[in-house]
Amino acid sequence: MLDFGADIPFVKELGFTLRRMHGGESELHYQARPEHTNSFGVMHGGAVMTLLDVAMATAARSDTLDTGVVTIEMKTSFMRPARGPMVARGKLIQRTRSMAFAEAWVYDAEGRLCSQSTGTFKYVPRAQPAAGQGGGAISTD
């Protein structure tokens, strides 16, 4: 298991694991717990979108670990219910000095595509934490 390169409490809570983060690509694994499902007993759409968002952001940051990213926009298509262990793959499509354009896909245990997303991210410098404060807050100025 790899380190995301940033402390992301929500990602820890969901239990995502990072398996690849290099060369504009990422791979994350996730097994939804019962509290992360919807009334149909499948992965909640918000958890799916978070997985896609993190996969894209991780791909965007894969070669610039000293820089953070913030999501500007994302579009998601849900193709089938997400059940069981999930694999998300992210890919950096294009970048400029300050922006990244990425895609991500979520697959179920049988390798079937469950959802797909595109997103735009802004590169931001990591702000240094103030004395006595935890975390590396990201400046969005």
Q: What is the pLDDT of residues 80-133, one digit of tens each?
A: 999 989 999 999 999 999 999 999 999 999 999 999 999 999 999 876 555 555
Place 65 in a pLDDT band, splitting at 50, 70 and 90: confident
Q: What's CA 14's distance to the chain center, in Å?
A: 11
pTM of the model: 0.89
Instruction: Give the pLDDT of residue 140.
Output: 41
Q: What span, in angstroms and rounded, lies between the C-alpha atoms of 51 and 25?
A: 14
Q: What span, in angstroms and rounded, lies between the C-alpha atoms of 35 and 105?
A: 22
Place 137 in a pLDDT band, splitting at 50, 70 and 90: low
- With a cut of 80, say whether residue 135 has pLDDT above it: no
**What distances in angstroms separate CA 139 from CA 4, 5, 61, 69, one per listed residue?**
18, 16, 16, 10
Task: State the alpha helices, DSSP H only, in the chain.
Answer: 9-14, 45-61
Tokens 């694991």 found at: 17
Give all domains of the chain, ordered by start, each with its CATH number: 9-125 (3.10.129.10)
CA-angle at 20, arms to 11 and 137, nearest 5°: 40
Instruction: Give the pLDDT of residue 21.
Output: 95
Place 134 in a pLDDT band, splitting at 50, 70 and 90: low
What number is the average pLDDT over the span 63-77?
93
pLDDT digits (tens, 9 = 90+) for 4-54: 878 889 999 999 999 999 999 999 999 999 999 999 999 999 999 999 999
What number is the average pLDDT over the span 67-86?
95
